[in-house]
């Protein structure tokens, strides 16, 4: 039998944003040199923090409305 190394053998390791590959990621894409740039990392961190802030604000509004009714 031949060698059967699946591309799924080394899945990407992701940052907390769930999209950006970590610096120590060894997936096929990153091994080929397609790692995220520092600017992409900063933008991803900003997007995730904005998303969390919007979710928190929505929870706060829902609690306030529930308390007022």
**Range with the lowest mean pLDDT among 1-10, 19-28, 40-49, 55-64?**
1-10
DSSP calls for 31-64: HTT-PPPHHHHHHHHHHHHHHHHHHHHHHHHHHH
In this predicted structure, what is the pLDDT of residue 27?
Answer: 87
Per DSSP, 7 falls in state G
Predicted confidence (pLDDT) per residue in 28-37, tens digit: 888 888 999 9
The whole-model pTM stands at: 0.67
Write out pLDDT tens, residues 11-33.
Answer: 888 888 788 889 888 888 888 88
Q: Which two tokens stand for residue 61?
A: 């509004």
């Amino acid at each position: 039998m031949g060698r059967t190394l699946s591309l799924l053998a080394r899945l990407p390791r992701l940052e907390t944003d769930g999209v950006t590959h970590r610096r120590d990621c060894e997936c096929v894409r990153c091994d080929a040199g397609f790692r995220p740039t520092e600017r992409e990392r900063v933008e991803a961190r900003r997007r995730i923090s904005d998303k969390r802030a919007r979710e928190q604000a929505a929870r706060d509004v829902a609690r306030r409305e529930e308390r007022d009714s």
